[in-house]
Amino acid sequence: MALSNYTELLAYAKEHKITIGAFNALNMEILQALVAAADKKNAPIIVQTYHKHVDFAGADYMRAIALAASECSKVKIAMGLDHGRSYEQARLCVEAGYSGVMIDLASEDYEYNVRETCRVVEIAHARGVSVEAELGTISDADRTPEEIAKGYTDPEVARRFVKDTGIDCLAVSVGTAHGEYKYEPRINFELLKELVDTVSCPIVVHGGSGTPDEEVAKMVRMGVAKLNVGTDFFNAYNDALYRFYQEHTPHCDIADALAEARAAVERVALQKLDVLTRFRV
Ligand SMILES: [Zn+2]
């Protein structure tokens, strides 16, 4: 089937009390692994490309692979841009046929963030493409919980931002971080609950890699609509390739090496989807 937009998937998540996995891919094998896992779990997913990986792989190529995967899949698949860094990059992905784009101008001042996000919303919504934006600072995972807490999203500003921009979902900072955690993440569930309950659009949490399953399950229960995961898949992919080449000659069949990496990513995706669909109704 054709690609679905975020709005469709996030509505499904609400109805069935699941959280949509928004999983990062930058090549065909990773994307195939993610969609295969989604199919096995009968759970719709968002496949997304990090902004730097759009530069690496090309938006047209990634969209074509996602579309091919979606056409072979029995579950709904969306294709998104993750942490789009400018209006121009978001537009590039909208024009390439992505079904969702994130515009991340959280480090800019409020007025600029609103103005540029509105420009993205305008071109995206005209084509039925969903828009995610971010408020607060989602830190890198080598920071202490105290440092991460300095970037928490202000719920009052979040409510205003969603009204000012008309976005479809909002990424918030509540204690998770990007990459591999150096310290155990400390999630502010009280803040997360306020955001989920009072902001007028679905709430997105980033930094799903390495966050303990029980913490993720709590977020699912609270109604977090979308959880972003990247690092855990990339590490599984790299580890599998590394192991494979230690055990084989460098001139072995590439397909054998990639098959191992693809299977490793699929195992991680299945495990993530288990938690994200734990309370499904
Ligand atoms: Zn992120």
pLDDT over 90 at 145, yes or no: no
Residue recorded with tokens 């934006």: 133
User: If we measure between CA atoms, which residue out of 30, 15, 133 comes closest to residue 82?
Assistant: 133
* Dist. CA 264 → ligand 1 center (Å): 22
* Dist. CA 251 → ligand 1 center (Å): 36
Euclidean distance between CA atoms 202 and 220, whole angstroms:
12
pLDDT tens, position by position, 84-102:
999 999 999 999 999 999 9
* Dist. CA 240 → ligand 1 center (Å): 24
Identify the pLDDT of residue 183. Answer: 86
* Dist. CA 86 → ligand 1 center (Å): 15
pLDDT over 90 at 250, yes or no: no
pLDDT over 90 at 140, yes or no: no
CB 37 within 8 A of CB 274: no
Residues 6+ apart with CB under 8 A from 72: 35
* Dist. CA 139 → ligand 1 center (Å): 9
pLDDT tens, position by position, 194-242:
999 999 999 999 999 999 999 999 999 999 999 999 999 999 999 999 9
Among 29-33, 146-150, 167-171, 258-262, the least confident range: 146-150
pLDDT over 90 at 191, yes or no: yes
Would you state the structure tokens that stand for residue 27, as one six-digit string?
């090549």
Task: Write out the catalytic residue numbers.
Answer: 82
Which residue segments constitute the domains of the chain, with CATH numbers given? Answer: 6-276 (3.20.20.70)
Residue recorded with tokens 């199919």: 39
Look up residue 126 and give its amino acid: A
Q: What mean pLDDT do residues 16-31 have?
A: 98
pLDDT band at 137 (very low <50, low <70, confident <90, very high): confident
Would you state the structure tokens that stand for residue 98, as one six-digit string?
């992505």
